[in-house]
Structure 1
Amino acid sequence: MDGDNIQTDSGLGSDFDDDFDPLIGEDDPALPTERYLDRELSWLAFNQRVLELAEDPDLPVLERANFLAIFASNLDEFFMVRVAGLKRRILTGLAVPTNIGRAPQDALSDISAMAHVLQARHARAFQDLVIPALAGAGIDIVQWDTLDDADRRSLRDYFSNQIFPVLMPLAVDPVHPFPYISGLSLNLAVRVRNSKTGKQEFARLKVPTMLPRFVRVDRREEASSVRFITLEDLIANHLGDLFPGMDILEHHIFRVTRNEDVEIEEDETENLIKALEKELLRRRFGPPIRLEITEDMDEVTLGLLVRELDVTDQEVYRLPAPLDLGGLFDLRIDRPDLRYVKHVPTTAVQLLAPEPNAEPDIFSAISRQDILLHHPYESFATSVQAFLEQAAADPDVLAIKQTLYRTSGDSPIVEALIAAAESGKQVLALVEIKARFDEQANITWARKLEKAGVHVVYGLVGLKTHCKLALVVRNENGVLRHYSHIGTGNYNPKTSRLYEDLGLLTTDPQVGKDLTRLFNELSGYAIEKKFKRLLVAPLHLRRGLLKSIAAETAAARAGKPSGIRIKVNSMVDEAIIDALYRASQARVPIEIWVRGICSLKPGVPGMSETIKVRSILGRYLEHSRIFSFHNSGDPQVYIGSADMMHRNLDRRVEALVRLVAPDHLTEIDALFTRAMDDRTSSWWLDSSGEWTRHHLDGSGHPLDDMQDRLMQQITLRKRPTGRR
C-alpha cells in the first residue's frame, strides 16, 4: 500500500519507499538546524491516527474492526520495507542519514519503542473496546473453553472434515531441522512429550491461510446473533489429533515478519522481468525483522524461536492473543447497520446522457468542456473506465496510450486495452512492474497484454513510472484529436471505490501534445526539455514547484497578496520544506493537508508561524495531490501523482497538470477551505510532532465530517443547464 495499496487496498494505506537519501539539504543560516520531524516516527503517528478511528465509539463497530485490521496491515508493511531497509543498511555498513541527525541504531530503537507502545494499544483496543462493542451488537468472538458440549461437537466435525486434512505439523529434532517460517504466517509452537520415553520434542504447525480466520461456531442463531472462534484457537484445542500418543505440554502462537523489500539492480542488457522474478523469489527468504508472540509464551519456547530465527530482544513483541488482527478483514458479516451507510457513486453530471435512458457519449461530453472528476464521490466506472471502454470499441479511435501502475486482478481497464489491440488499434501500455507488492500481478498483466498485441514497455531504466496518464487519439472528419486523462490515482476499479482521487478529462490540444511527447519519451528515446501544461519529474517538477513557492515568497515580501495550499500523502522532501519555511518567514499563508508522513514543523516562531498542517482520515483514503498558488490573483493549481518525497521528485516519472477552467479552480479552493476549517473534523499537527484530533465542538457535538458532506453535496449536483 505506492503503498497506494491501503486501505491495503483496503483503505488507509501508506506510501512506502526505500528512500534513504539525506533529508538534510544545503545549510541555510536563516533556518534552524533541527527543523525536520523524523519521518519514521511521523509515519507511526499516522498509523496511530488510524488506531484512533478504531477506538472511536461513535463509529460503526464493524468499521472500527476494519480500522484495527488496517492498522495491523499498515504496520506489517512498515516493518517489511522501512524497518527492514534501515536494518539492512546498518548490517551492510551503508550510511543511513536521518533527518534529525540521529545515529541509525538510535533511530531503530526509537521506532521499536513507539511500535511496542502502539501494538500494545492496538491489542487493548480490540480486547477492551471493539470486542465488547461487537458483543453488544450480537457478534461474539469466543474462546474454546467458554463453549458447551454441543458447540464443541459441532466444531469438532468441522475441524475433522475441513481443517485437519490440510494441516502439516513439522517436527524439530536432529533429523528434522528447524523449518522455514514464512513471513506474516500465523504459527503454533507446540512442545510435546513422548508418553513412553518421557522425551520432550518441539513442533511447528502453520495455520492455513486459505481457511477462514474466524470460524462460525454454529448455524443455530439468527443473523443478528452470531459467534466466532479464531481458527488458531480451534486448531490448538485439537492438537491431540495431530500428535497421537504424545502429551501436549505447551502451545503458543507466534508470527514472523521478514524483510520483503525488493532491490533490483537494473541493467539495460538484462531482461527486467526475469531480474524482478528472481528478486521476488529472494523476497520470500528475507531475514526476520520482527517476532510477535502471545503473552503466555514460556521462556523455553521463546528462547528456541529467538535462537533459530536470530532476532534480538528489541524485535520481540509480546502481545495478548489473538495475533495478526489484520485477520479482521475476514470477518465478513452481513450487517449494514454496523457499517457506514452505503454510498453509491454518482455519474459526473457532465457525462450524463441527454436523455435518461440514452447511452452516454463520453467523447462528446469531453468535447464540450474539461471535466474534473472527484472519486469515489463520482463514479470511476462511468467516467474513466467508460472512457477507455468506449475508446476501445470506437472505430474512429486510432490509438490508445496508457500507464498502469497498480490495477485490479480482473481489471476492465486491461480488458479494454486488449479489446482495442485485437480490433486493430495501436495500443501502448506502460506497465510499471516494480510497483511494490504488486510486481507479480503486473508481470502477469504485462504478458497477457503482449500476447494480445499491445505494445508493452516498462519505462526508463532507474525510474519508476508512477504518473497516471491515458491518451486517446481519434480521427474526427480527417482531423486527429487528442482526448486525455491525467489523474492522481491508479487505474484500479476496486480501489477507486475506496480512494479519494481527482482526474481531469480534456481535449485541450496542448495537454494532448504534452502527453504525446511524454509517452514518446517513456517508450522511445525522445528527450523533451519542456512541457506547456504539465510539470514532469524527475527533470522539471521540483524546479517548477520551487519556482512557484519562491514567487509567493517574493510577493509577500513586496507586500502583495500571496498564499500556498498543498495536499499530499507525504511531505518529506527537504528542499520543498525549506522553501515553505522561507515563504512562511516572509508571512505567506500556507496550508498543508497531508494524510501520512509530515517532516515539516508548523507553527515554530520565526520559521513556520504561518503554516498550518491538517490531516483527514475516514471511510475513504485521501489520496489526491493538489498544489495551489495565489499567483497575484491568477491562481496556479496543479493536480497529479507526486508526493513531496525524494523518490517522487528524483527517481520517478510523475506528472502534474495545471487546471485552467474557472469552475475547477473554484472547486479546488472550496475543497481546501472546507478541509482547513476549524469546524471540520481533522487532526492538527503541532511543532513537536504531536497530532491532536479535533472531532468534537465545545459542547461535545461532532464536527463536520468532510467526506460525508462531499457525498451529500456531489450527489445533489444538478445536470448542466439545457440538459435533463
Structure 2
Amino acid sequence: MKLSKEVLSKYLRSEFFFNRDLSWLEFNRKVLQEATNPNLPLLDRIKFISIFFSNLDEFYMIRVAGIKEQIRAKVIDTSFDGLTPTEQLKQIENLLQPMLKEIYEYWQNVIIPELRENKIYIYDFNKLSKDEKEILNEYFLKEIYPVLTPLAFDPGRPFPYISNLSISLAVRIKKPNGEKNFARIKVPSNLPRLLQIDKIIRSKGKNGSNLSLKFIWIGDLIKANLQYLFPGLEVIESYKFRITRDTDLEIQEDEADDLLQVIEENIKQRKFGSVVRLEVEKQMPEYMLDILIENLELTRNDVHIIDGKLGLSDLMLLYNLPFPNLKEKPFHPYVDEIFEEENFFSLIQKKDILLYHPYDSFNPVIDFIKKAARDPDVLAIKQTLYRVGQNSPIVKYLIEAAERKKQVAVLVELKARFDEENNIFWARELEKAGVHVVYGLVGLKTHAKMTLVVRKEIDGVKRYVHLSTGNYNTTTAKIYTDVGFFTNDEDICADISEIFNYLTGYSEQKIYRKISVAPINKREKFLELIEREINNHKAKKNGRLIFKLNSLVDPVLIASLYEASKQGVKIDLIVRGVCCLIPQVQGLSENIRVTSIVGRFLEHSRIYYFYNNGKEEIYCSSADIMQRNLDRRVEITFPIEDEDWKNFIKNNLLNTLLKDNQKARVLLPTGKYVFNYPVYNEEIINHQEWMMENINRKNKKAK
C-alpha cells in the first residue's frame, strides 16, 4: 500500500473539509463558553471575555482582511471546502452575530450584577454624585484634556486618520451661526480604559471608599466633558466607534537588500492598512454612520452595530485586580530538586530531561542558558528566537555569553506576526554585544525552537540541545502548555548543528538522522509514518494514532488520515483550534474522534503518537499540520526515545487528555462541538487540574 497521489486524491473534495475560518469561529465559541461558565470564578470569566474579543480582533486583522482583499481583487477561486471569498464572509458574519449578542447580554445581565455583588462598580457618569462628578471633571481637565486632540472634518480639512483598534468619539457640533460640523476625538490608548473613581478621589485628599471599587469608562468621562474641547460651540451629540485595519505584512524578501529595514518599513505601513471592520454604538444615527462608511471606504456589510461597550478586550484590566477570592486558586510550577543538586550538563549526560510547561517551571530553561553563558568550558551557544517577550532574561544571558567571548549565534525571526518590533529591538541589542544575528531564510519563517550548546570536556567537545514546542518566552511559559526537552544524544545534536548551518550558511542537506525538518522532509516523514500505521493495521489490526496539536488544516495530511480511518486505524485527534477534518462520517472518518480542550491554560504543545505494532514512537514538534508549517516555515520534529518519558507522555498527558470530561469538547460531523460529559459512574477528570495536582510526582516516576 502506498499513500500515492492517486490514493489521496479521492479525498480531496470540498465536501470532505470544514472551512478554516468557520472552524476558527467555533474555536472562539469555546472561549465564549468559558466566559459564560458559571462554575468559573468571576474574574476568570472576565478574562475569557477579554480573550474572546482579543482573538476576534486578530481574526479580523488577518483572516477577514485577507478574504476582503481577495474580494477586492475579484478572486473567485474557492477554498478547499468549496466556498468563494464572498460566501465565506457571509457565513462568518452569520455565525458571529449570535455569539456577539450572547456575550454582550452576558456582560450586561450577569457580569455587571456579579461585580456589584462583590462591591466592584462600573458607573455611568450621569449616575455619579455631584461631588464625584466635580472631582472627575477636575481630573479630566488636569490629566486627560491636555492629551486630547479634536480633529475637524469640513470642506477645508480632510477626514482625519483613524488608528487601528482605537476608540473614537464622532462628535457633531453647532457654531453660533447655526452651521453644523463633524469632529473626531481619539480616546488615548496610553491611558487606562477604566478609571478607578475612588482612587482618584483619595488622591485629591477626599475620603474615598475602601470597601468598594468604583470605575468609569474613560470614553464616558471624555464624552461628559466635550464642552471644554469645543468652547463657544454647542455639542449636539457624540457616539463612540472603533475600526479594525488589515495588519498583515506583505514582504517581498527577494527584493530586499536589508530585511531589517524592510520589516521596519512594513510595520510603519501596517497602521495605514485598509479598514476591514467598523464597530459603532447602537445609538449612532444613520447620517453619522454614513459619514464614517463613506470616508473609511466601507460598505454596510463591514459594520458591526454594538449594543454595549466597544473594545471589551481591555477588560483584562479587571482580571488584574488583587482579588484572589474571585479567581481560580493560584498554581505554582514544579521545580525538581535535581536542578539544584547537580551540574546541569552532567544531568543531561545521565538522562534526557523532559519538562512540561507550565506545570513544570520554565526556570530550568533560563538556567540552562545562564549556566552556558557563565560556564568557562562552554565554547558556543546557538539559538532560535521567535517570540521572545519583553525584558527577556534569555536574551540578557546570550548577551552576557558574547561579552564573555563565547561564540554566540542567534536567529531572530523578524517576521513573527505582531512581535516584529520587539524582535527588531532585541536583534539590535544582540548585535551591539557582538552576537552573530541572522534573520532567517528568504521566503521562510523560522518557527523551530532550539538551542545548541557546545562545551569543551575532558574527553573532547560535547554538544547539548534544548528543543521545544513553544517559544523562549517567560510570560507565555506560565500559561501555554509546551514540551521542553534536553538531550545530548549524538544523532540529535548532530542534526541540530546541521540545521543551524542550514539557517546561517549554505546547505542543501535533505537527510537527517533523527530530526525531521520542514520544509525539507517533514511532510514526507508524516505520510510515511501514517502509511506504516496503515500497513501494520492490515497485518495486526492494532493501528493507533494520537495527534495533539493546535490546528489541522493541510488537505493532503487530512486525506492520509481519512485513508487510515477507512483502513481501520483508530485515530484520536486533540485539536485546540482550527480543524478542517470532518470526523465520524461513515465510509470516510468513522474511526476518527476529534476533541478539543479550552481551559485555564492554552493547549499549545504538539505531540504525535504512533502505536507501530507495540514499538511505540512519540514525536514532539514546533509545527502544526498546516500548509504554512509544512511548506513555508522552518520547523523541527524530534523523537522522544527514553521509555520513561514516552510512558509519561502517553499515560500522564495523552491518556488524561482523552479522558477529560470537564473541559473537553467533541467535534461533530456538523462542525459544532459538544461537551464530553461524563457517563454514569465515570471518573471525573479535568486534565489540566489533574496535571497541576500530579506534576510533582512526574520526575520521580520517570527516573
Q: TM-score category by the smaller chain? A: over 0.9
Displacement of 1:87 in angstroms is: 1.3
Q: Which residue of 2 aligns with 1:606?
A: 587
Displacement of 1:483 in angstroms is: 0.7
2:346 corresponds to 1:361: no
Q: Distance in 2 between matches of 1:396 and 1:223?
A: 57
**Deviation of 1:139 (Å):** 1.1
Shift of 1:121: 2.2
Is this contact kept in 2: 1:593–1:614, CA < 8 A? yes
Which whole-Å CA distance do the structure 1 matches of 2:369 and 2:11 have between them? 51
Cα pair 1:187 1:253 within 8 Å, conserved: yes
For 1:498, the equivalent position in structure 2 comes to: 479
For the 8 Å contact 1:573–1:646, the answer to whether it is kept is yes
Cα pair 1:537 1:655 within 8 Å, conserved: yes
Instruction: Give me the whole-angstrom Cα distance separating, in 2, the residues matched to 1:149 and 1:30.
Output: 69
Q: Contact between 1:560 and 1:632, CA under 8 Å: does it hold in 2?
A: no
The yes-or-no answer on 1:141 pairing with 2:122 is: yes
Task: Look up the SS of the partner of 1:205 in the other structure.
Answer: strand
SS at structure 1 position matched to 2:185: strand
Moved over 4 A (4+): 24-27, 30-33, 220-224, 695-699, 716-722
Instruction: Give the superposition deviation at 1:537.
Output: 0.4
Q: Cα deviation per residue 1:151-180 (whole Å; 9 max; x = unaligned)? A: 212211221221111111111112221100
Contact 1:681 1:695 in 2 (8 A): no
Q: Which amino acid letter does the alignment assign opposite residue 247 of structure 1?
A: E
Q: Out of 42, 47, 69, which is 2:28 matched to?
A: 47
TM superposition shift of 1:89:
2.2
Partner residue in 2 for 1:445: 426
Matched, 1:249 2:236: yes
Q: Are 1:489 and 2:473 counterparts?
A: no
Match of 1:556 among 512, 521, 537: 537
CA contact (8 A) 2:8 2:556 kept: no
State the match for 2:203 in structure 1: none
1:200 aligns with 180
Measure how far apart 1:117 and its partner are: 2.5
| Alignment gaps of 5+ in structure 1 | 1-23, 355-359
AA at the equivalent of 1:260? T
Q: Pick the aligned partner of 1:576 from 557, 565, 570.
A: 557
- Identity, in percent, stands at 42
Name whichever of 676-685 and 565-574 sits farther off: 676-685
Q: Which residue of 2 aligns with 1:413?
A: 394
Match of 2:368 in 1: 387
Tell me which residue corresponds to 1:357.
none
> Which 5+ residue runs of structure 2 have no aligned equivalent?
200-206
TM-score, normalised on structure 1?
Answer: 0.92
1: distance between equivalents of 2:325 and 2:662?
A: 25
Cα drift, residue 144 of structure 1: 1.0
- Secondary structure of 2:666's counterpart equals strand
> Are 1:347 and 2:335 an aligned pair?
yes
CA distance in 2, matches of 1:139, 1:500: 32
Matches within 5 A, 1:207-606: 207-219=187-199, 220=207, 225-267=212-254, 270-331=257-318, 332-348=320-336, 351-354=338-341, 360-381=342-363, 383-606=364-587
Contact 2:540 / 2:613 at 8 angstroms: preserved in 1? no
Q: Which residue of 1 aligns with 2:202?
A: none
User: Would you say the 8 A contact 2:76–2:84 is kept in 1?
Assistant: no
How big is each residue's C-alpha offset from its partner over 1:344-372, in whole Å with a ceiling of 9 and x where there is no partner? 111135x4333xxxxx5211221221011
Contact 2:256 2:262 in 1 (8 A): no
Matches for 1:32-111 after TM superposition, within 5 Å: 33-94=14-75, 96-111=77-92
Q: Which sits farther off after the overlay, 239-248 or 213-222? A: 213-222
C-alpha separation between the residues in 2 aligned to 1:426 and 1:717? 36
Q: For 1:647, what is the secondary structure of its paired residue?
A: helix
Contact 1:86–1:96, Cα closer than 8 Å, also in 2: no
Question: For residues 275-319 of structure 1, what are the alpha-carbon distances to aligned partners after superposition, in whole Å with 9 as ceiling and x for unaligned?
Answer: 111211211101100000011101111111011111111110001
Between the aligned partners of 1:689 and 1:269, the Cα distance in structure 2 is 42
Q: Please say which of residues 93-102 and 706-715 is displaced more in the overlay.
A: 93-102
Distance 1:416 1:29 in 2: 53
Q: Does the 8 Å CA contact 1:89/1:96 hold for their aligned counterparts?
A: no
Letter in 2 for 1:263: E
Taking only aligned residues, the RMSD between alpha carbons, in angstroms, comes to 2.0
SS of 1:204's partner is strand
Query: Equivalent residue of 1:410, what SS?
Result: coil
* Equivalent in the alignment of 1:675: 657
Distance 1:159 1:522 in 2: 54
Partners of 1:563 and 1:589 within 8 A in 2: yes
Contact 1:568–1:623 (CA<8 Å) still a contact in 2? yes
CA contact (8 A) 1:683 1:693 kept: yes
Alignment match, 2:204: none
Q: CA deviation at 1:697?
A: 6.1
- Tell me, what secondary structure is at the counterpart of 1:180? coil
Would you say the 8 A contact 2:383–2:410 is kept in 1? yes
Which amino acid counterpart does residue 335 of structure 2 have in structure 1?
A: T
| 1:330 to partner: Cα distance | 2.0
Taking the aligned partners of 1:92 and 1:275, their CA distance within structure 2 comes to: 25
Amino acid corresponding to residue 587 of structure 1 in structure 2: G
